Amino acid sequence: MSRVRGRGRKGWLPAFRDAMLFKTAYAYGLRRNDTRMLDTADFGRNPEGAEFGEYGVCYVRHGKAKKGSPPKRRSVLTVWEWSVEILDQWISEVGPAMRHADGPALWPSERGRRVGLQRLDSRFAAYRDDLGLDAVLDFHSLRRSYFTHLIEDGWDACVSSDFRTRTLRRALDATVEAALTPARRAL
């Protein structure tokens, strides 16, 4: 990031924002509006996943609702360590350099307080096309990939928060135990 910033290229900051935004949408299986409406305060600690620090839970306050109903709130647990790293980098280092970073929005635009839905679609399409990916891919593909990868990793994507918390704790503990086992044998 410092290398790109140091070159002084125009547009590096919005491009970096887009990368962090798309990664966050995938990391938590978020819809477009879920992602767009995130504020910096929408992350918190998960007591069962202390290793994720301040980014153990993503609180979605503007989730998809039934017609005529208020936005549906939900919380999504952090499952990948890399998501903590990108959020921390964005919130503490890069995001504050955005022109409208003084507001609560996690993803300010170059011209306003919050990135727009059409901007999310157009930027995703531009990156997809530049990479030569299939035109059938859209922003929602990140959400579908999130759930697919959870299922492939043995998670049940349609379970309660309590179950996900217990499952996450078991998986993290097993990973730590597996990493420490060779070191214990050496003693």
Q: What is the pLDDT of residues 117-168, one digit of tens each?
A: 999 999 999 999 999 999 999 999 999 999 999 888 887 766 566 666 777 7
User: Which tokens in the block code for residue 79?
Assistant: 């499952």
* Residue for token pair 């504050």: 96
pLDDT at 118: 92
- How far is CA 117 from its chain centroid? 17
Q: Whole-model pTM above 0.75?
A: yes
Q: What is the pLDDT of residues 19-70, one digit of tens each?
A: 999 999 999 999 999 999 999 999 999 999 999 999 999 999 988 878 888 8
Rounded to 10 degrees, the C-alpha dihedral 171/177/182/187 comes to 180
- Please give the average per-residue pLDDT across 110-115, as a whole number: 88
